[in-house]
């Protein structure tokens, strides 16, 4: 009996009218956990009942505590007929099982009904008492912390990163059971919600066990997904990265802010005082692109378990030469061996993280990607989900071998996804092949002491990750390699694609931008194996085209690297949709991208010639314009500059001979050099014309806007506190039945572009701002429907400060030589532990102070007195005044309204008591809960992680028209989901959700029957955060507030 | 190809004030889009017509869903569904309850019943306010009326606390409720020149001086909390007003009063002769109004009587506003010197209101 769960039902408010006669409700509550149920008394005739129940106690195993949710049902008592359900609240008590997370759940929860939506609120108090568990064979994994965040959570330090954990559980979908024919939609929806809640609890527990086995205490980058396989069942699967986390003492959140504020190391390069560099006028890097897709249809097992694996693999930034600089050579090999052995012990050296502690990531190879088409089959035995396991195993093996081919021993930024249409399922996995620092792998190596640094490779972290990890000589693909434009010591590829976030210390020129490739391919309708084969035949071509589009768009923007690349392929009955999103940047370390050259097939024709010329001009203009827009002015160094046009291969190899063992190879690689910098597009058919058009029709964001799909925008460092998270869904019906691929492409492209335009327009009041973590999800919910769902956050930044900061930065950094730069991030990580005490002293009292204010949302106080309410209002008003960016006018009017209210507050008590329904607007107010898909909130620091939020909701309606059609239906459902997430976070004592994401949004409609159903799955990390600016008064932390993390970190 | 579904939901509910106003004004989505585009919204952010349409639909949907909450504004502050900053909430409520002076002028003093609601299309046609907006405004009046009708305590405070309105708006609503309750006639042609604000001012005067709540005074009302204390006129007071009749029925008193007033006015105004000539008429008019107020019917005609019996004669004699002020001041104060007149308190309570009402109403 290792745990006691206690729940208390306090009160309800805003309940719906259940008794038409009296316009009131006789409400009571059932509290259920496992098989035990308690009931409160009936609170008669009230829409705001005060139950104030006793503590209901459940004595349970901790295994159940992890799996089961607390289920609260609000009902209307009916003397003569059955009691009517008003709605339910499911409370995941997992956060209470962790000592470091929340200690109590207390607050107002929306009462949710799958048919009617939110119907009032209920105030609940939940506590857990855990006893010591002496059972050695325990099944629970209480105490393992889960984070959705795909980086080491702020305020923690990764002592060891253990590696990949995965698990999946399967079950029959209640919606497809025979009993569903006789039960109500409500009962069916609730059965499904409950089952999924149970399954994800079980999944989390099992993953926790694996983590404990590995010796870890946390899962970072936890990603849970549902596969609604219809008839064949319901799969809940999750992946994550097991870590041993150590909490940094509460005051020392120095590096919490690194991300948004990290100084652009690029400045160092931009600085003119830096000498000894070659002229990057060397736009000499041509890339006639080698077909990047290597596809082979393999392993067709045509048994009842039909499966086609489509191993596609994108190598970008191919190159050669893992050989290091002279001095570093032997050491590097040694390091690599160590790391390799550490990693090879693991089955899958995968990491779901997308950003890493500094010095963790040594080299990045490129994106690895695997897909496989499967035919679904009924899951016969839910307890042994072997087939699904085997499928994923296959794919992971493939990914692993791809990574090996790139000379890498690990895959970072790893993720998995599925797309299901009827019985066909595409499984996809992708990640970035990389070489990692062994330090974090070794167990017991908690100390990031300075001694370790000596073993560090001499590649500066600003460019080190760009250096190729694979062997120059054994490269399976021809590629263009050059010496790193930053350190000049090692080879880098001409282009780099990755699925991770831009490393904080990376050197970047200019700003980044959101780049998207979109593609539609028609497909014949078919069944079974024929269908699966058709799909798998199409996949390689789609990948290839998406890749080409990305490449073209990247070059058009004059950039040379992609981060956060995510390629989705969605399958529908008669088409496949492909969407690749990424954030393009200009990495200072990589060569400047070449232009795009247009070539015609028939050179003789003068009119054609003319046409080509105009297109060429338009493209060149676009490139020039983009360069200006994204401020891409790569450092042009004078020495070898203008006169000698290109760093001629010979010359260069001579120059670096002393440093490099393999420079002789260089001349071979530069074979195509004579052709100069063209990425040639041939206009030989309509396809190419389409390509060029789509290339040029992509609109840049309007002035004042930037966008990216990564955590932060490269080139923007000074976020202000304005933030707006949003979800937008658009569905297009294709009425035209005879669509061509081109027509479809255009429609799909317009859909995405228009969505972006809508966002810019809606958020125009936030300018200057950046849309971060733009996450597009495409689906083909039905024949002739295309659905695009987007979740992103808009964040404001201070335009003026940018310049100041850059200037500030340039001064200290400009003069510094490479050595200093090199050490500096290392110091940074060493410092994170050293500097704790100093800042702790100053930080602690203030932060507790703030947190208590932030978290003190007095839900309980039903103050009847208006004065309290006014007090709160005034407090809030105050908050706004501090928080908002540019509301001097508004603030005035607000101040006015407040003062007018203030006026009324000195009311004699009697008078205010006389207000009959004062209770309905009692003293409670609602906590503001911020939500963001990012792992941080600008201008604040996270002082506590309260646990993972993982919620699944179903909403159904049989009065679609009355609810405003599908748009009205989904609009209110999404708003309800947000509200429930916020309420749960607030009840945990939090004021924000970070790393929020909407994994699923499945909408089914039947307008003829006036019906619709929608499933939404969301997750994120509940946190308490405090405003950074609140610390301004403290001298030591002021600098952090302004925070150019690197400089300040060193000084503090 | 058609857009089947298009939604945008922010964690903090996004509301454009311009679109909100268009929605409140009862524009259809199509019209609102037209207005916005003409207003130059396309120049912002490189938008196009589709974008504006999509945005407008989204906003309209949001407002529509919030409307339920706006019906009991106190709920807006502690509901969980929409995260709206308090500042925004204040704007939403204030604007939702704002009304067109033209519209309110039409329904002022009418019974807020279904019958009146049926006439809204006529009013809409007459005032140029869209029917939808008329309905919202009418329903607002009715809602406020219904809620405060059952409440004890001061009218303006009740409205302000229940509907979280600004001081100004709460007072206006108090006027509307007061007029609707007492069914004051405001629609006659002779009253057409008066604006809503004129009436609202007068209503304020009446509420503050002639109701039950007014007698209790601001400090002592705790003890005698009465229902409708601010909505119904003080019956006792109305009864006492009959006593004022002596000022016109007693010949001596009337003459004495006249001579006192005339002495004071002589030489101070150009219209002295007209004042002197009309004194008895005017005085009779005002005192008769007072004496008849016990009749509900005459209460309804209060404003029309004031205009017919007092304002119109003065206007035809071309009194200036200053003349009016001078005259009424002396007319009121002179009564204090009349030894035989015993109803000074009632007189002051009556004339205080009459004086300020007439000042307000005496314009073109």
**Following DSSP, what letter does each residue of A74-130 receive, concatenated?**
EEE--SSSPPEEEEEEEE--GGGGSTTS-S-EEEEEEEEETTTEEEEEEEEEEEEEE
Q: How far apart are CA B200 and CA B178, in angstroms?
A: 9
Greatest mean pLDDT among A90-99, A100-109, A344-353, A566-575:
A566-575
Phi, psi at residue A309, to the nearest 5°? Answer: -105, 135
Residue A688 confidence (pLDDT): 65
Q: Which of A416, A390, A396 is closest to A225 using CA atoms?
A: A416
Residue B74 confidence (pLDDT): 87
How confident is the model over B123-146, as pLDDT tens digits? 999 999 999 999 999 999 999 999
Residue A99 confidence (pLDDT): 67
How confident is the model over A499-519, as pLDDT tens digits? 999 888 888 888 889 999 999
In the numeric block, the tokens 């209002």 are attached to: A873
Q: Confidence class of residue A382 from pLDDT cuts 50, 70 and 90? A: low
- A810 pLDDT exceeds 60? no
Phi, psi at residue A220, to the nearest 5°? Answer: -110, 150
- Regarding predicted confidence, which is higher, A345 or A1042? A345
Residue A987 confidence (pLDDT): 92
CA angle A860, A864, A868 (to 5 degrees): 75
Residue A9 confidence (pLDDT): 95
Rg of chain B on CA atoms, in Å: 25
Mean pLDDT of A138-146: 75
User: With an 8 Å Cβ cutoff, is B49 touching chain A?
Assistant: no
Q: Which of A119, A8, A121, A2 is closest to A55 using CA atoms?
A: A8
Residue A449's H or E segment, with its range, is none
- A471 pLDDT exceeds 50? yes
Strands A218-228 and A145-146: parallel
Residue A52 confidence (pLDDT): 93
Pairwise CB contact (< 8 Å): B45 & A727: no
How confident is the model over A815-854, as pLDDT tens digits? 333 333 333 333 333 333 333 333 333 333 333 333 333 3
Mean pLDDT of B64-69: 92
Strands A930-931 and A992-1006: parallel
Closest chain A residue to B93 measured between Cα atoms? A897
Choose, out of A975, A1004, A1013, the residue to mutate when testing the contact with B (most B CBs < 10 Å).
Answer: A975
Residue A573 confidence (pLDDT): 87
Please state which of the ranges A46-50, A873-877, A978-982, B189-193 shows the lowest mean pLDDT: A873-877
**SS3 breakdown of chain B: % helix, strand, coil, rounded to 5?**
70, 5, 25
- Regarding predicted confidence, which is higher, A1019 or A299? A1019
Is residue B226 within 8 Å of B152, Cβ to Cβ? yes
- A1037 pLDDT exceeds 60? no
- A453 pLDDT exceeds 90? no
Is residue A769 within 8 Å of A763, Cβ to Cβ? yes
Alpha helices in A439-493 (DSSP H): 450-453
Q: Which of B266, B242, B257 is closest to B343 using CA atoms?
A: B242
Out of B9, B94, B166, whose CB is closest to A975? B9
Residue A175 confidence (pLDDT): 80
Pairwise CB contact (< 8 Å): B154 & A931: no
What is the number of residues in chain B? 364
Please state which of the ranges A14-28, A173-187, A710-724 shows the lowest mean pLDDT: A173-187
- A1022 pLDDT exceeds 90? yes
Choose, out of B1, B2, B3, B5, the residue to mutate when testing the contact with A (most A CBs < 10 Å).
Answer: B5
- B75 pLDDT exceeds 90? no
User: With an 8 Å Cβ cutoff, is B222 touching chain A?
Assistant: yes
Residue A602 confidence (pLDDT): 60
How confident is the model over B241-277, as pLDDT tens digits? 888 888 888 888 888 888 888 888 888 888 888 888 8
Pairwise CB contact (< 8 Å): B5 & A110: no
- Mean pLDDT estimate for chain B: 87
Strands A930-931 and A769-779: unpaired
Please state which of the ranges A329-338, A570-579, A648-657, B293-302 shows the lowest mean pLDDT: A648-657
What is the number of residues in chain A? 1052
User: With an 8 Å Cβ cutoff, is B10 touching chain A?
Assistant: yes
Out of A897, A924, A979, whose CB is closest to B81? A979
Residue A174 confidence (pLDDT): 82
User: With an 8 Å Cβ cutoff, is B39 touching chain A?
Assistant: no
* Secondary structure, 3-state, B133-199: HHHHHHHHHHHHHHHHHCCECCHHHHHHHHHCCCHHHHHHHHHHHHHHHHCCCCCCHHHCCCCHHHH
User: With an 8 Å Cβ cutoff, is B79 touching chain A?
Assistant: yes
Report chain B residues whose CB lies below 8 A from the CB of A876.
85-86
- Mean pLDDT estimate for chain A: 71
Phi, psi at residue B63, to the nearest 5°? Answer: -65, -40
- A641 pLDDT exceeds 70? no
How confident is the model over B200-219, as pLDDT tens digits? 999 999 888 888 776 655 55
Report chain A residues whose CB lies below 8 A from the CB of B162.
915, 917
3-state secondary structure of A688: helix
Distances (CA, A) of B231 to A927, B97, B227: 38, 20, 9
How confident is the model over A910-968, as pLDDT tens digits? 333 333 333 333 344 678 899 999 998 988 889 889 989 999 999 999 999 888 899 99
Between A and B, how many residue pairs show a Cβ–Cβ distance under 8 A? 201
Q: Confidence class of residue B278 from pLDDT cuts 50, 70 and 90? A: confident
Residue B320's H or E segment, with its range, is none
How confident is the model over A263-280, as pLDDT tens digits? 333 333 333 333 333 332
pTM of the model: 0.80
Q: Confidence class of residue A621 from pLDDT cuts 50, 70 and 90? A: confident
Residue A441 confidence (pLDDT): 59
Residue A605 confidence (pLDDT): 65
Residue A510 confidence (pLDDT): 86
Residue A852, burial from CB neighbour count under 10 angstroms (0-12, 13-18, 19+) = exposed
Residue A838 confidence (pLDDT): 37
All residues at 6 or more sequence positions from A486 whose CB lies less than 8 Å from its CB, including other chains: A269, A460, A462, A463, A466, A507, A588, A589
Is residue A559 within 8 Å of A593, Cβ to Cβ? yes
- Regarding predicted confidence, which is higher, A320 or A427? A427
How confident is the model over A323-363, as pLDDT tens digits? 223 333 333 444 444 444 555 556 788 999 888 887 788 88
Residue A862's H or E segment, with its range, is none
Is residue A1022 within 8 Å of A993, Cβ to Cβ? yes
Question: ipTM value of the model?
Answer: 0.87
- A873 pLDDT exceeds 80? no
Mean pLDDT of A647-662: 33
Q: How far apart are CA A1000 and CA A1015, in angstroms?
A: 7
Residue A100 confidence (pLDDT): 67
All residues at 6 or more sequence positions from A367 whose CB lies less than 8 Å from its CB, including other chains: A314, A315, A316, A430, A431, A432, A433, A497, A498, A499, A565
How confident is the model over B26-37, as pLDDT tens digits? 999 999 999 999
Pairwise CB contact (< 8 Å): B44 & A761: yes
Residue A266 confidence (pLDDT): 35
What is the nearest CA distance from B289 to chain A, expressed in angstroms?
34
């Amino acid at each position: 009996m290792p745990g006691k769960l206690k729940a208390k039902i306090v009160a309800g408010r805003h309940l719906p009218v259940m008794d038409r006669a009296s316009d009131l409700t006789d409400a009571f509550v059932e509290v259920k956990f496992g098989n035990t149920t308690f009931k409160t008394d009936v609170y008669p005739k009230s829409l705001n009942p005060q139950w104030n129940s006793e503590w209901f106690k459940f004595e349970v195993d901790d295994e159940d505590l992890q799996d089961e949710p607390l289920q609260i049902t609000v009902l209307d008592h009916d003397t003569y007929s059955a009691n009517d359900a008003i709605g339910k609240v499911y409370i995941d008590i997992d956060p209470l099982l962790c000592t470091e997370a929340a200690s109590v759940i207390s607050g107002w929860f929306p009462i949710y009904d799958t048919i009617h939506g939110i119907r009032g609120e209920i105030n609940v108090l939940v506590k857990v008492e855990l006893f010591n568990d002496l059972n050695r064979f325990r099944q629970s994994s209480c105490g393992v912390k889960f984070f959705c965040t795909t980086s080491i959570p702020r305020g923690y330090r990764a002592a060891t990163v253990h590696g990949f954990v995965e698990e999946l559980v399967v079950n029959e979908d209640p919606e497809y059971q025979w009993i569903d024919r006789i039960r109500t939609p409500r009962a069916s929806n609730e059965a499904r919600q409950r089952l999924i809640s149970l399954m994800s609890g079980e999944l989390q527990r099992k993953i926790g066990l694996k983590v404990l086995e590995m010796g870890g205490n946390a899962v970072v980058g936890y990603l849970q997904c549902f596969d609604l396989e219809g008839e064949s069942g319901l799969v809940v699967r999750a992946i994550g990265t097991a870590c041993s986390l150590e909490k940094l003492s509460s005051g020392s959140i120095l590096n919490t802010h690194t991300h948004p504020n990290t100084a652009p190391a690029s400045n160092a390069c931009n600085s003119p005082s830096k000498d000894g560099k070659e002229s990057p006028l060397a736009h000499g890097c041509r890339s006639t692109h080698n077909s990047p897709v290597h596809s082979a249809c393999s392993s067709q097992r045509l048994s009842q378990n039909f499966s086609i694996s489509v191993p596609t693999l994108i190598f970008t930034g191919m190159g050669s030469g893992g050989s290091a600089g002279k001095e570093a050579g032997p050491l590097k090999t040694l390091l690599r061996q160590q790391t390799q052995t550490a990693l090879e012990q693991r089955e899958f050296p995968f990491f779901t993280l997308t950003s890493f502690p500094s010095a963790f990531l040594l080299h990045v190879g490129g994106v690895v990607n695997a897909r496989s088409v499967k035919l679904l089959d009924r899951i016969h035995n839910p307890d042994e989900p072997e087939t699904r396991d085997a499928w994923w195993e296959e794919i992971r093996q493939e990914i692993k071998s791809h990574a090996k081919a790139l000379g890498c021993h690990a895959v970072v930024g790893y993720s998995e996804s599925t797309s299901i249409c009827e019985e066909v399922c595409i499984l996809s996995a992708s990640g970035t092949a990389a070489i990692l620092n062994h330090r974090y792998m070794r167990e017991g190596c908690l100390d990031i002491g300075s001694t370790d640094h000596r073993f560090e490779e001499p590649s500066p972290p600003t460019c080190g990750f760009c250096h190729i990890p694979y062997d120059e000589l054994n490269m399976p693909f021809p590629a263009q390699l050059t010496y790193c434009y930053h350190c000049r010591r090692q080879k880098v590829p001409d282009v780099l694609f990755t699925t991770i976030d831009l490393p904080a210390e990376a050197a970047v020129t200019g700003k980044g931008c959101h780049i998207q490739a979109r593609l539609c391919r028609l497909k014949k309708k078919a069944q079974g194996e024929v269908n699966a084969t058709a799909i798998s035949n199409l996949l390689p071509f789609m990948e290839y085209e998406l890749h080409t589009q990305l490449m073209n768009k990247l070059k058009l923007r004059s950039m040379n690297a992609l981060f956060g690349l995510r390629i989705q392929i969605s399958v529908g009955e008669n088409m496949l949709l492909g969407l690749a999103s990424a954030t393009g940047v200009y990495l200072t370390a990589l060569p400047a991208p070449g232009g795009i050259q247009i070539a015609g097939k028939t050179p003789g024709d003068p009119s054609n010639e003319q046409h080509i010329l105009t297109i060429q001009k338009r493209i060149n203009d676009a490139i020039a314009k983009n360069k200006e827009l994204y401020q891409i002015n790569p450092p042009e160094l004078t020495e070898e500059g203008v006169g000698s046009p290109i760093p001629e291969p010979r010359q260069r190899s001579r120059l670096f001979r002393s440093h490099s063992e393999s420079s002789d190879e260089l001349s071979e690689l530069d074979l195509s050099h004579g052709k100069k910098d063209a990425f040639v597009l041939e206009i030989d058919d309509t396809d190419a014309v389409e390509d060029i058009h789509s290339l040029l029709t992509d609109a840049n964001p309007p002035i004042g806007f930037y966008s990216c799909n990564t955590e932060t925008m490269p080139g923007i460092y000074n976020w202000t506190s304005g933030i707006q998270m949003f979800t937008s869904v658009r569905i297009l019906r294709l009425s035209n039945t005879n669509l061509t691929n081109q027509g479809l492409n255009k429609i799909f492209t317009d859909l995405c572009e228009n969505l972006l335009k809508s966002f810019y327009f809606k958020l125009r009041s936030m300018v200057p701002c950046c849309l971060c973590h733009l996450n597009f999800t495409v689906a083909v919910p039905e024949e002739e429907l295309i659905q695009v769902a987007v979740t992103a956050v808009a964040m404001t930044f201070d335009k003026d400060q940018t310049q100041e900061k850059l200037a500030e930065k340039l001064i200290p950094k400009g003069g510094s030589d490479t050595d200093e730069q090199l050490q500096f991030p290392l110091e940074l990580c060493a410092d994170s532990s050293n500097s704790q005490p100093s800042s702790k002293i100053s930080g602690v009292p203030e932060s507790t102070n703030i947190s208590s204010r932030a978290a003190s949302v007095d839900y309980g106080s039903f103050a009847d007195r208006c004065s309290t309410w006014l007090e709160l209002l005034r407090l809030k008003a105050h908050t706004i005044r501090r928080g908002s960016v540019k509301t001097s006018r508004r603030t005035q009017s607000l101040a006015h309204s407040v003062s007018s209210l203030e006026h009324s507050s000195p009311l004699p008590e009697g008078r205010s008591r006389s207000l009959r329904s004062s209770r309905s607007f009692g003293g409670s107010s609602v906590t503001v809960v911020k939500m963001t898909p990012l792992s941080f909130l600008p201008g604040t620091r996270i002082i506590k992680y309260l646990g993972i939020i993982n919620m699944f909701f179903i909403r159904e309606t049989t009065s679609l028209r009355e609810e405003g059609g599908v748009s009205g239906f989904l609009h209110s459902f999404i708003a309800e989901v947000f509200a429930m997430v916020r309420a749960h976070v607030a009840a945990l004592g939090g004021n924000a959700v970070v790393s929020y994401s909407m994994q699923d949004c499945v909408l089914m409609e039947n307008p003829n029957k006036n019906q619709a159903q929608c499933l939404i799955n969301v997750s994120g990390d509940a946190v308490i955060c405090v405003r950074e600016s609140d610390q301004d008064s403290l001298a030591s932390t002021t600098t952090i507030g302004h925070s150019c993390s690197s400089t300040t970190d060193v000084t503090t | 190809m058609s857009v089947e579904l298009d939604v945008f939901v922010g964690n903090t509910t996004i509301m454009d004030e311009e679109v909100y106003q268009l929605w409140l004004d009862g524009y259809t989505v199509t019209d609102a889009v037209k207005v916005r585009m003409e207003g130059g919204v396309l120049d912002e952010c490189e938008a196009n017509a589709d974008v504006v349409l999509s945005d407008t639909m989204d906003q309209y949907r949001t407002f529509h869903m919030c409307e339920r909450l706006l019906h009991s504004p106190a709920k807006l502050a502690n509901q969980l569904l929409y995260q709206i900053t308090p500042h925004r909430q204040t704007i939403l409520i204030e604007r939702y309850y704002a009304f067109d002076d033209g519209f309110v002028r039409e329904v002022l003093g009418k019974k807020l019943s279904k019958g009146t609601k049926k006439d809204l299309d006529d009013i809409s046609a007459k005032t140029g306010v869209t029917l939808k907006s008329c309905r919202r405004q009418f329903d607002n009046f009715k809602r406020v009326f219904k809620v405060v009708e059952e409440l004890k305590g001061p009218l303006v405070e009740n409205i302000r606390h229940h509907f979280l309105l600004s001081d100004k708006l709460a007072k206006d609503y108090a006027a509307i409720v007061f007029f609707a309750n007492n069914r004051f006639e405001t629609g006659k042609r002779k009253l057409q020149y008066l604006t809503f604000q004129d009436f609202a001012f007068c209503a304020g005067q009446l509420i503050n001086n002639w109701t039950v709540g007014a007698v209790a005074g601001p400090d002592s009302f705790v003890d005698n909390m009465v229902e409708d204390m601010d909505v119904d006129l003080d019956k006792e007071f109305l009864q006492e007003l009959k006593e004022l009749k002596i000022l016109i029925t007693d010949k001596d008193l009337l003459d004495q009063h006249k001579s006192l007033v005339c002495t004071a006015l002589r030489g101070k105004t150009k219209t002295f002769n007209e004042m002197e000539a009309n004194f008895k008429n005017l005085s009779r008019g005002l005192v008769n109004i007072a004496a008849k107020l016990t009749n509900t019917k005459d209460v309804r005609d209060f404003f029309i009587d004031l205009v017919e019996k007092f304002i119109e004669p003065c206007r035809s004699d071309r009194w200036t506003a200053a003349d009016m002020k001078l005259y009424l001041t002396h007319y009121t104060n002179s009564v204090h010197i009349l030894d035989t007149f015993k109803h000074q308190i009632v007189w002051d309570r009556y004339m205080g209101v009459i004086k300020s009402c007439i000042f307000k109403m005496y314009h073109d």
